Structure 1
Amino acid sequence: MRDLNGKVAVVTGAGSGIGRALAVRFAAEGMRVALADVEQDALMGTAALVDGEVMTKVVDVGEEKEVQAFADAVFDTYGAVHVLCNNAGVFAGGELWSRPVADFEWVFRVNLWGVLHGIRAFVPRMIAQDSEGHIVNTASVAGLFAAPFSGPYTISKFAAYGATESLAHELAMNGSKLRVSVLCPGGVATRIDESERNRPHELKAEKTPDQEFIDQVITDTVTAGIPPEDVAAAVVAAIAEERFLILTHPQYGPGLLQQAEALVAGGLPQLPDFEQR
């Protein structure tokens, strides 16, 4: 889909980072944007940056009813959706055997169920439009390369990647006009290292040394990360080119080949350090 002007884009996790950059870029392309985030003030901050028509709604993407209500509001307002970005995400890490179930429940409900709720709420109506459209699900480079001390996050992102590839195949087999991309960013200057600010009280957990270690790694990574605006530009280009996999760093392509070779040989892939530049 090359012509975005006049079309409608939906972005979750739009209050900061990649979501905010997507909202601003889509508006610059002439799109009307519908934005959701769990943080009211952050969402309003993004809306203030949008040069164009915008609607907002506070949404917890882990709650199916809230995502369905958001979809209802978007279609009631604009009558159609042409680009859907299931982008909301959070981080929790630590050794798999040391972290409580609450960590997994929180991360899965946002990073995986947020994507699934978005698909189920929007895609049937996008199919019924019988027009060109594009779904972009945000996974992560952690959904391609498993890393230690990031179990909850990595598992959720591998699952988000799998959901996106399944969706792409299903739409293609049904002859749909919709196309699908999976966004796998690496180090980006976002606030994902501050995810705990939005963690539900009932899913809070005590920090352990292993988690404190990986939290510092994530902070260092985002501090040195690329601008979110670069990611938004890559997404717009991928939509135009109908590209499935969106990588944010050139090192990841060769890394995927190395990983595939290790797996075909029956070995454990080496730990990559793709953030080195």
Structure 2
Amino acid sequence: MRELAGKVAVVTGAGSGIGRALALRLAAEGMTLMLADVDHRGLADTAALAGDAKVLTQITDVSAATEVAHLANRCFGELGAVHVLCNNAGVYQGGHIWTRGQEDFDWLLGVNLRGVLHAIHEFVPRMIEQDTEGHIVNTVSVAGLFAVPGSGAYAVTKHAALAASQALAQDLAAAGSKLRVTALCPGAVRTRIGESDRVRPPGLAHTPTQDEVDARAAIDRAVAGGIEPSEVADLAVAAIHEERFLVLTDPKYAERLRRQTETLLTGSLPLYQ
């Protein structure tokens, strides 16, 4: 998309972190915003930071199909169109894959994967029908490329989100659509992803296992040394303009991806510490 000014963007998970940075960056481009999150206060703060941009907000749990449908209906009903859809909402839980219970997978899959699928189902057909340029940005994570120790359940959801992004892009291209897709794969970013328990549904409260505690400490260390969310947002907007599918936030990830592919082709397991 060459021109964003005067058009409409939807951002989920807009109450903090990368979602907030995306919202503010798109506002700076002159876009009207529909912002969604489960965090009432964070959402209000993001809206207040958006300056003179026209902003609507909607409390939305993206894991619930009915809530995403309501978000889409409100967007098209009140704003008339959607040109950029940022499926950014995401949650993290670490620990060995064999210690993650069904409730953990349900939560992670609900937000990280089904949230993307619900939005594709509700927004994309109407975006196609607009017959205008448009772009879908799915915040995937490098965990969608590399399954590292201590983040198995999270990696499962992010690998699936990457597959959904690629499948969507392929289907749109095959259909001759004007819509494009970006799989945004940030690594360590200074966000509150390690504090995802703050939005864990009350009915899923649990006592963390030791491996989960250790994984949380590791993610906190990584986040502390990460890049700013605004840098990720800049890369995402550049990808929209350039119609770029895969966005990595650090050149070292490209080399790591090459090494992983070469190792897999030998039949061996890539190892990460």
After TM superposition, the score normalised by the length of structure 2 is: 0.98
Aligned to 1:253: 254
Is contact 1:188-1:222 (8 Å) kept? yes
CA displacement at 1:205 relative to structure 2: 2.2
Aligned to 1:20: 20
Aligned to 1:153: 154
SS in 2 for 1:10: strand
Spell out the pairing of 1:38-117 with structure 2 (5 A cutoff): 38-51=38-51, 52-117=53-118
Aligned to 2:2: 2
CA displacement at 1:269 relative to structure 2: 1.1
Q: Could you say what the CA RMSD is over the residues aligned between the two structures, in angstroms? A: 0.8
| Structure 1 residues without counterparts, runs of 5 or longer | 273-277
CA displacement at 1:99 relative to structure 2: 2.0
Aligned to 1:225: 226
Aligned to 1:143: 144
CA displacement at 1:156 relative to structure 2: 0.3
CA displacement at 1:271 relative to structure 2: 1.2
Distance 1:108 1:203 in 2: 14
SS in 2 for 1:251: helix
Aligned to 2:242: 241
CA displacement at 1:270 relative to structure 2: 2.5
Distance 2:194 2:211 in 1: 15
Give, as a single letter, the amino acid of the residue that structure 1 aligns with 2:267: G
CA displacement at 1:48 relative to structure 2: 0.3
CA displacement at 1:203 relative to structure 2: 1.8
Aligned to 1:123: 124
Give, as a single letter, the amino acid of the residue that structure 1 aligns with 2:13: G
Distance 1:39 1:15 in 2: 6
CA displacement at 1:84 relative to structure 2: 0.2
SS in 2 for 1:35: strand
Distance 1:7 1:251 in 2: 34
Distance 2:247 2:205 in 1: 33
Distance 2:238 2:149 in 1: 32
SS in 2 for 1:136: strand
Is contact 1:36-1:57 (8 Å) kept? yes
After TM superposition, the score normalised by the length of structure 1 is: 0.97
SS in 1 for 2:99: coil
Is contact 1:102-1:205 (8 Å) kept? no
Is contact 1:90-1:110 (8 Å) kept? yes
- Map Cα deviations across residues 66-97 of structure 1 (whole Å, 9 max, x no partner): 00000111111110000000000000111111
The percent of aligned pairs where both chains have the same amino acid is 57
CA displacement at 1:185 relative to structure 2: 0.5
Aligned to 2:11: 11
Distance 1:99 1:261 in 2: 30
Higher mean C-alpha deviation, range 263-272 or range 180-189: 263-272
